[in-house]
């Protein structure tokens, strides 16, 4: 009897917060009521191991049935967990597991250790997969040996340790079969660690760092030194990871495994066998683990496994075809069958349990690739997913092409979208026009994901290995009726069409939260984000000015002031000269906003302060207000009505925005120094509020006033404002340029497209209202000074 054999036992589990681990903990708590669990959990960056168990494990819906069963009993769920679960902090990627002396003694008291922790991603960096999958089981054995104990160690592996073979794959170590390559796992560990060092060194080569800097600038534009530095470092670490992922794929393929996951799992079995010494070991090898057949409830799943991303991409119309052998076997097994098998092997004990038990369906209840595809197509034909316009997405028929053909088509499409993206980013698109770039970015992401799926999972759909389950069925045959009811691990229990149609697909569609009803959604995502931005809980609303609240910029403001006292021929010359300069000014602005402002504001040198202030008052009504966005000004008033502080942070000069003071509690603008003779010097009094300076200005304001940045809102239009947008809890991209539109879409930010009032003229360059000859002679023309020489 399984439950009776484990009653009173203390069972340690690694990987308890993962998919299999969660189901295992739930099943043991519910079906083996007299056992005690010790959960070895790696602490998070900001949470302890115990906190992770409470938040990530026990709050999962897997425990709903157990909570319900205990609702009207003497001991509720929380009390039962407190009595039966002990959490210890540890890490299987660290020698000695990182255990404290107290936690080590708790581990030493265990009768069974179930090791299910793993780097389950098929594209893990090679060194990470080696440390966790290859060395993890051995570290568990070494820790137990150091404690001078020998509990039954049940190690969860994978059927795919058999590699890219055809035909029968028996329940034996790879090293015991005819396909053993004689690999030395110790050499592979050393090589993987060297690869990490080599990749880190290569990523710091001057030429490589320069390429990262260029890529960061291409993506972020003039976002400021800190943002560009952070992006550059992110690109460097991503590059190192990509090199190690590629190294894992290449090394695995070179020796006959589909990926680094299966490769390191196979070597992990070899290492554990070599190093186990007095520790009794049983290995359980599942195939592709998917949603539950029955327990804790039909369709239960935690996170998406291998098949779900491919199935959902197909249902969304993103994958038109996928490689695979139509008559080949897709070896899928529900998670509750896997968990029941692990518990059964644990209950048998080290003397009776087989050395290796495979938990798979292909050898006894096969699911062909064509059957899977046909059932998926039929289901989504009957229950389509709907697009953003409320129209059903028609799923295509797959033709089972070769992996090479699909990869070639996707790489060609990827190349075309990359070129189109570069072209669009070079154009001065903004607002609704920039949506083209955002949509192209989305399409590019779809192509990249499809290519990733083909590269990661293509070998699995083409696999023709048949995993034997003789040991599994031997255990099953020895069970009595009660154990068969309580711990079903017979793969023949799965009716594949029933499972696919009524259990698996409804579950993954529900978890993916895709649109399953026709018609447009009444409350779209933008409306929800807008309501969140305008919550009374917000503290401060910070606004940029140019292209955020007004359709103007510092060049237009200067032009209005500069031409006010020019006669007609002088105005014509000024306009032609400024238009000629425009490409240079635009390039300078895109490179560094602060440098551009310093350069451009020197044109005000020698301008009389009295004259500028007088003209600026007229400019406010004749230019700034007329070119303002009514929706933007309305938004400022909405924030004020809600009791939020409103702050304008702009690189425009202070005299140009002085007329906006009634709208804002605080205005932070650029300022020029004034000479004793009452003229502007053309030089800045302090660093202009651009780029990262804006984020610091808002942070200083919040600190001084007792506000929280995560409760602030920021409105801006350019990637040069990225530090400000990233600093707050509620960023809003307004009329975003191409780069910012793509970033906002990727990060899920609110995007607002505001425009000027209907009927407003849009000249290439605003010209100030011409004064009378007497008024023009009152002061020197601004454009006649140093700035226009």
Band of residue 789 on the pLDDT scale cut at 50, 70, 90: very low
The residue-averaged pLDDT of 380-388 equals: 86
pLDDT at residue 5 is higher than 80: yes
Does residue 786 form part of some domain?
A: no
Task: Provide the pLDDT for residue 514.
Answer: 77
For 232-236, 321-325, 380-384, which range has the lowest pLDDT when averaged over its residues?
321-325
Give strand pairing partners of 582: none
List the end-to-end C-alpha distance of the chain, in Å, as a whole number.
Answer: 96
The residue-averaged pLDDT of 9-34 equals: 95
Task: Provide the pLDDT for residue 787.
Answer: 43
Task: Provide the pLDDT for residue 711.
Answer: 94
For 315-329, 667-681, 727-741, which range has the lowest pLDDT when averaged over its residues?
315-329
Packing angle of the helix pair 403-425, 738-747 (nearest 10 deg)? 130
Other residues' Cβ atoms within 10 Å of the Cβ of residue 531: 11
Choose among 155, 147, 23, 35: nearest CA to 85. Answer: 35
Does residue 441 form part of some domain?
A: no
pLDDT at residue 403 is higher than 90: no
The residue-averaged pLDDT of 364-373 equals: 90
* Distance, CA of 527 to chain centre: 23
* CATH number of the CATH domain containing 723: 3.40.50.1000
Rounded distance between C-alpha atoms, residue 540 and residue 645, angstroms: 5
224-249 per-position pLDDT tens digit:
788 889 899 999 999 999 999 999 99
Task: Provide the pLDDT for residue 435.
Answer: 60
Does residue 773 form part of some domain?
A: no
pLDDT at residue 44 is higher than 50: yes
Q: Is the pTM of this model over 0.85?
A: no
Does residue 739 form part of some domain?
A: yes
Choose among 256, 262, 455, 463: nearest CA to 369. Answer: 463
Band of residue 775 on the pLDDT scale cut at 50, 70, 90: low
pLDDT at residue 175 is higher than 80: no
Contact indicator for 268, 341 with CB cutoff of 8 Å: no
* Alpha-helical segments (H) within 539-677: 554-563, 568-591, 593-601, 609-619, 630-641, 654-657
Domain count, the chain: 1
606-656 per-position pLDDT tens digit:
999 999 998 999 899 888 888 899 999 999 999 999 999 999 999 999 999
The residue-averaged pLDDT of 438-460 equals: 67
List C-alpha distances in Å: 133 to 119, 198, 387. Answer: 6, 22, 40
Higher-pLDDT residue of 518 and 150 is 150
Task: Provide the pLDDT for residue 784.
Answer: 45
pLDDT at residue 340 is higher than 60: yes
Task: Provide the pLDDT for residue 580.
Answer: 87
pLDDT at residue 389 is higher than 80: no
Does residue 302 form part of some domain?
A: no
Contact indicator for 403, 454 with CB cutoff of 8 Å: yes
Task: Provide the pLDDT for residue 510.
Answer: 86
For 25-34, 294-303, 578-587, 745-754, which range has the lowest pLDDT when averaged over its residues?
578-587
281-311 per-position pLDDT tens digit:
999 999 999 999 999 999 999 876 666 777 8
Q: Which contacts (CB < 8 Å, 24+ apart) does range 171-178 have? A: 171/285, 171/354, 171/356, 171/357, 171/358, 171/468, 171/469, 171/470, 171/471, 171/472, 172/356, 173/269, 173/270, 173/273, 173/355, 173/356, 174/266, 174/269, 174/270, 175/270, 175/273
Does residue 374 form part of some domain?
A: no
118-149 per-position pLDDT tens digit:
988 777 899 999 999 999 999 999 999 999 99
pLDDT at residue 764 is higher than 60: no
Rounded distance between C-alpha atoms, residue 749 and residue 741, angstroms: 9
The residue-averaged pLDDT of 449-464 equals: 68
Contact indicator for 489, 472 with CB cutoff of 8 Å: yes
Task: Provide the pLDDT for residue 174.
Answer: 75
Task: Provide the pLDDT for residue 771.
Answer: 54
Contact indicator for 157, 132 with CB cutoff of 8 Å: no
Task: Indicate the Cα dihedral angle 131, 132, 138, 141, nearest 10°.
Answer: 130
CB-facing half-sphere around the CA of 312: CA atoms within 13 A: 20
List C-alpha distances in Å: 657 to 174, 651, 661, 754. Answer: 75, 10, 8, 20
Does residue 611 form part of some domain?
A: yes
pLDDT at residue 439 is higher than 70: no
Task: Provide the pLDDT for residue 756.
Answer: 85
The residue-averaged pLDDT of 405-415 equals: 68
572-605 per-position pLDDT tens digit:
888 888 888 888 888 888 788 888 999 999 999 9
Band of residue 786 on the pLDDT scale cut at 50, 70, 90: very low
Does residue 685 form part of some domain?
A: yes
Q: How many residues does the chain have?
A: 789
Task: Provide the pLDDT for residue 74.
Answer: 81
Domain, as residue range, for 728:
529-757
Structure tokens at 27: 């099943």
Task: Provide the pLDDT for residue 526.
Answer: 84
Band of residue 433 on the pLDDT scale cut at 50, 70, 90: low
pLDDT at residue 788 is higher than 60: no
> What percent of the chain has pLDDT above 90?
58
Mean pLDDT of the chain: 87
Greatest Cα-to-Cα distance within the chain, rounded to the nearest angstrom: 111
């Amino acid at each position: 009897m399984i439950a009776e054999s484990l009653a009173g036992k203390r069972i340690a589990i690694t990987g308890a917060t993962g998919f299999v681990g969660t189901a295992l903990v739930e099943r043991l708590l519910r079906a083996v009521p007299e056992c005690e669990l010790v959960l070895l959990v790696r602490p998070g960056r900001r949470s302890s191991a115990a906190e992770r168990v409470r938040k990530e494990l026990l709050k999962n819906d897997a425990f709903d049935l157990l909570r319900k069963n205990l609702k009207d009993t003497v001991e509720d769920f929380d009390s039962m967990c407190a009595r039966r679960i002990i959490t210890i902090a540890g890490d299987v990627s660290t020698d000695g597991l990182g255990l404290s002396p107290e936690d080590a003694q708790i581990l030493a008291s265990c009768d069974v250790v179930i090791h299910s922790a793993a780097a389950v991603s098929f594209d893990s960096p090679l060194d990470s997969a080696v440390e966790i999958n290859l060395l993890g089981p051995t570290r568990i054995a070494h820790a137990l040996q150091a404690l001078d104990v020998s509990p039954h160690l049940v190690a969860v592996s994978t059927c795919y340790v058999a590699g890219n073979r055809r035909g029968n794959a028996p329940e034996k170590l790879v090293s015991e079969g005819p396909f053993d390559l004689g690999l030395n796992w110790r050499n592979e560990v050393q090589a993987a660690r060297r690869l990490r060092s080599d990749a880190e060194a290569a990523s710091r080569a001057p030429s490589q760092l320069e390429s990262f800097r260029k890529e960061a600038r291409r993506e972020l534009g003039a976002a400021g030194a800190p943002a560009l530095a952070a992006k550059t470092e992110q690109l460097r670490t991503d590059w190192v990871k990509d090199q190690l992922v590629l190294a894992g794929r290449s090394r695995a393929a070179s020796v006959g495994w589909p990926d680094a996951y299966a490769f390191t799992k196979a070597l992990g079995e070899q290492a554990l066998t070599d190093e186990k010494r007095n520790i009794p070991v049983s290995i359980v090898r599942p195939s592709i683990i998917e949603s539950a057949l029955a327990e804790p409830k039909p369709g239960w799943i935690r996170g998406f496994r291998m098949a779900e991303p491919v199935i959902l991409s197909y249902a969304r119309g993103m994958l038109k075809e996928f490689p695979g052998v139509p008559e080949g076997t897709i070896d899928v097994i529900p998670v509750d069958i896997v968990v029941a098998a692990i518990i059964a092997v644990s209950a048998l004990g080290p003397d009776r349990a087989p050395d290796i038990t495979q938990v798979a369906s292909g050898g006894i209840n096969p699911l062909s690739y064509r059957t899977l595809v046909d059932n998926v197509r039929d289901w989504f034909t009957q229950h389509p997913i709907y697009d953003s316009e409320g129209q059903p997405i028609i799923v295509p028929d797959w033709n089972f092409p070769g992996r090479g053909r699909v990869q070639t088509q996707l790489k060609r499409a990827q190349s075309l979208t990359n070129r189109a993206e570069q072209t669009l980013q070079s154009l001065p698109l903004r607002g609704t026009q920039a949506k083209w770039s955002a949509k192209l970015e989305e399409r590019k992401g779809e192509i990249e994901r499809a290519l990733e799926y083909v590269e990661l999972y293509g070998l699995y759909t083409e696999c023709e290995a048949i995993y034997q389950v003789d040991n599994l069925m031997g255990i099953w045959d020895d069970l009595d009726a009660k154990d068969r009811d309580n711990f079903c691990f017979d793969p023949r229990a799965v009716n594949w069409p029933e499972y696919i149609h009524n259990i698996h697909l409804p579950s993954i569609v529900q978890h993916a939260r895709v649109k399953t009803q026709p018609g447009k959604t009444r409350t779209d995502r933008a409306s929800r984000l807008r309501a969140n931005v305008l919550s009374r809980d917000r503290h401060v609303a910070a606004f940029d000015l140019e292209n955020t609240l007004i359709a103007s910029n510092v060049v237009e403001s200067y032009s209005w002031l500069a031409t006010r006292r020019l006669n007609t021929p002088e105005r014509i010359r000024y306009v032609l000269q400024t238009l000629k300069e425009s490409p240079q000014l635009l390039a300078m602005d895109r490179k560094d906003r602060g440098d551009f402002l310093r350069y451009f504001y020197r044109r005000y040198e020698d301008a009389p302060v009295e004259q500028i202030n007088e003209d600026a008052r007229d400019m406010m009504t004749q230019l700034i207000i007329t070119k303002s966005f009514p929706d933007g000004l309305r938004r400022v008033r909405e924030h004020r009505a809600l009791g939020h502080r409103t702050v304008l942070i702009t690189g425009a000069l202070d005299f140009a925005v002085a007329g906006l003071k009634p709208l804002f509690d605080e205005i932070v603008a650029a300022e020029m120094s004034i000479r004793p003779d009452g003229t502007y010097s053309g030089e800045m009094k302090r660093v202009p509020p651009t780029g990262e300076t804006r984020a610091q200005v808002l942070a200083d304001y919040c600190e001084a006033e007792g506000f929280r940045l995560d409760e602030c809102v920021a409105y801006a239009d350019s990637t040069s404002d990225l530090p400000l947008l990233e600093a707050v809890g509620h960023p809003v991209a307004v009329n975003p340029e191409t780069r910012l539109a793509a970033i906002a879409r990727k990060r899920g930010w609110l995007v607002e497209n505001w425009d000027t009032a209907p009927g407003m003229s849009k000249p290439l360059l605003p010209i100030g209202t011409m004064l009378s000859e007497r008024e023009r002679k009152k002061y020197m023309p601004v454009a006649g000074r140093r700035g226009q020489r």
